[in-house]
């Protein structure tokens, strides 16, 4: 069903599920929640991360289908307070796709603009999936082509120019929407990628597949990549690299992360962020939204966040918290394997081509753009910059009913433990890769309250605990025990809490045993 409202075209869908067309993993429209009613609500300061599962009206979502309109609320808040508004598709969008380039021509309300991108095809006959490389500076293009995808080199500065004052922004986006637009250039860049996808869709898919597009970028273009993937649900795979403040890192964490680029610096260095964000550079707790929800906006589509823990300016610790928080949305949607995060790299050079990322990057491209193989579903968090989600959240992840939003999850969400008459029970969910793992353990009280708990388990030979959050660890290998932290020991009857730990080796087959106090 298509509804036209105030010049916009709104596509009404029954539920926010991952559309599968042939080999592609993406939504069929730019914004599935365009028809959702949005109430602004009041803004209340919150030092911890907002609950991505609680609506603006205070109620919590309970089904997978509920996520569609909850995501729309998050999108509205992200535009209103952080990035500025992303306009609907212009009244006129046209252009061409050839084997070497793409042209984009747009017009709206008597104004027009044009820009272009180059295309580098892999070997084969096509049509090909493609990865938009923002600024020509992102994931290794040779690896992209070797995985069977074309490379679209997109110059974002033609759409949103850097080095301009906020009152006189320049580029194709601002030619249409005005030089004084309050939208920052990150969302202008994202708008440009969306228009490239429009033209690919119109081209008939003889050269590039319209439903198999990815996006990547590094540094400031990494900021653009994650924003682009969050705001266009037609993008099947998002791959930001070392995006730093204004990209993946949680805003609330940046001020406390030593050496990280301050929020005020990211706001003033370039007009990357929307004008409204200027009111929150000294008070991120006042924001009703944070970047873990930006990560969640990508769910359940493919996402591979790559980080560098060696450069403190990049705020990798806060980025890992955003990834862990956003992964809870993936887990609730049954799509745990679709998100990966990797900061465990040896080379600290900014935006270097890294051997550690090659396999998961190519596997992600093959899975989400080509429809073959398995998603990597890995979390490799460097001990140099390992953030604790437990320190930033007071909410728990719900078990959403109504089925999975993922076509092929390979890591199951934490299961609800069987009821126990008294004491406590524990279950564990593993996110494992070759040489390491992250374990999320849920502790649930039985029919009576508990004042404290200890979870014990025996790790396989060669496995060792390297980092723990929301609990204290006793031992690092073999028989290990985890005791509640001061804030999460007391549980009401039937109540639950979670803790986690990262380790080396394999944790396959571990069985947690909970003892209440």
Return the bridge partners of 430, or none: 439
Which of 143, 203, 265, 350 is labelled catalytic?
A: 350
The HSE-up count of residue 128 (CA atoms within 13 Å, CB side) is 26
CB of 498 closer than 8 Å to CB of 396 = yes
Task: Taking each helix axis as running N to C, give the angle between helix 291-298 and helix 67-78, from 0 to 180 degrees, rounded to the nearest 10.
Answer: 130
Torsion of CA 145, 147, 150, 152, to 10 degrees: -80
DSSP annotation of 290: -
Neighbours of 419 (CB within 10 A): 10
CB of 114 closer than 8 Å to CB of 104 = yes
Q: How far is CA 355 from CA 43, 128, 251, 286, 486, in A?
A: 44, 25, 30, 40, 41
Q: Distance from first CA to last CA of the chain, Å, rounded?
A: 57
Distance of CA 476 to the CA centre of its chain: 31
φ, ψ of residue 60 to 5 degrees: the values are -100, 145
Instruction: Name the residue among 124, 202, 190, 179 with its Cα closest to residue 154.
Output: 190
CB of 388 closer than 8 Å to CB of 39 = no
- The C-alpha atoms of residue 417 and residue 439 are separated, in whole angstroms, by 16
Sign of CA dihedral 263, 269, 275, 278: positive
CB of 186 closer than 8 Å to CB of 83 = yes
- The C-alpha atoms of residue 232 and residue 313 are separated, in whole angstroms, by 28
Maximum Cα interatomic distance, the chain, rounded to a whole number of Å: 71
Structure tokens, 117: 């991108």
CB of 149 closer than 8 Å to CB of 159 = no
The HSE-up count of residue 22 (CA atoms within 13 Å, CB side) is 14
- The C-alpha atoms of residue 236 and residue 115 are separated, in whole angstroms, by 23
Instruction: Name the residue among 420, 408, 436, 444 with its Cα closest to residue 501.
Output: 436
The HSE-up count of residue 155 (CA atoms within 13 Å, CB side) is 14
Which of 219, 337, 404, 406 is labelled catalytic?
A: 219
Structure tokens, 123: 């070997």
Instruction: Name the residue among 427, 419, 414 with its Cα closest to residue 494.
Output: 419
219 is catalytic: yes
CB of 289 closer than 8 Å to CB of 78 = yes
- The C-alpha atoms of residue 327 and residue 336 are separated, in whole angstroms, by 7
Question: Catalytic positions, please?
Answer: 219, 350
């Amino acid at each position: 069903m298509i509804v036209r409202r105030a010049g916009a075209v709104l596509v009404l869908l029954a539920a926010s599920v991952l559309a599968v067309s042939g080999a592609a993993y993406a939504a069929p429209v730019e914004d599935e929640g365009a028809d959702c009613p949005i109430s602004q609500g009041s803004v209340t300061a919150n030092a911890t991360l907002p609950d991505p599962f609680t609506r603006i009206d205070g109620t919590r979502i309970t089904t997978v289908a509920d996520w569609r309109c909850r995501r729309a609320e998050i999108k509205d808040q992200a535009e209103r307070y952080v990035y500025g508004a992303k306009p609907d598709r212009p009244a006129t969008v046209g252009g061409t796709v050839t084997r070497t380039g793409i042209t984009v021509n747009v017009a709206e309300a008597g104004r027009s603009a044009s820009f272009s991108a180059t295309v580098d095809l892999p070997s084969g006959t096509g049509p090909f999936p493609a990865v938009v490389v923002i600024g020509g500076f992102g994931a290794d293009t040779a690896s992209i082509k070797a995985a069977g995808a074309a490379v679209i080199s997109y110059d974002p500065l033609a759409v949103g120019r850097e080095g301009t004052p906020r009152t006189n922004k320049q580029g194709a986006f601002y030619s249409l929407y005005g030089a004084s637009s309050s939208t920052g250039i990150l969302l202008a860049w994202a708008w440009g990628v969306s228009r490239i996808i429009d033209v690919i869709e119109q081209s008939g898919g003889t050269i590039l597949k319209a439903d198999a597009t990815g996006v990547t970028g590094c540094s400031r273009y990494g900021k653009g990549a994650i924003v682009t993937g969050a705001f266009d649900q037609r993008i099947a795979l998002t791959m930001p690299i070392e995006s730093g403040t204004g990209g993946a890192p949680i805003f609330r964490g940046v001020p406390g992360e030593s050496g990280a680029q301050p929020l005020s610096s990211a706001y003033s260095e370039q007009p990357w962020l929307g004008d409204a964000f200027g009111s929150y550079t000294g008070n991120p707790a006042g924001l009703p939204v944070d970047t873990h929800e930006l990560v969640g906006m990508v769910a359940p589509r493919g996402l591979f966040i790559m980080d560098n823990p060696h450069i403190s300016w990049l705020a990798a610790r806060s980025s890992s918290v955003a990834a862990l928080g956003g992964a809870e949305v993936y887990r609730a949607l049954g799509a745990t394997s679709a998100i990966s995060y990797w900061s465990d790299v040896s080379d600290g050079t900014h935006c270097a081509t890294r051997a550690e990322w090659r396999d998961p990057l190519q596997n992600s491209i093959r899975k989400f753009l080509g429809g073959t193989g398995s998603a990597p579903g890995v979390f490799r968090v460097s001990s140099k910059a390992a953030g604790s989600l437990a320190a930033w959240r007071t909410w728990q992840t719900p078990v959403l009913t109504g089925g999975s939003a993922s076509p092929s999850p390979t890591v199951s969400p934490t299961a609800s433990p069987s009821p126990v008459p008294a004491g406590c029970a524990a279950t564990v969910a593993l996110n494992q890769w070759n040489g390491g793992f992250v374990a999320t353990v849920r502790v649930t009280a039985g029919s009576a309250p508990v004042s404290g708990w200890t979870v014990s388990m025996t790790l396989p030979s060669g496995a060792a605990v390297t980092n723990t959050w929301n609990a204290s660890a006793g031992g690092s290998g073999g028989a290990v025990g985890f005791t509640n932290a001061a804030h999460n020991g007391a549980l009401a009857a039937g109540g639950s809490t979670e803790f986690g730990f990262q380790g080396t080796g394999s944790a396959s087959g571990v069985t947690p045993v909970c003892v209440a106090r």
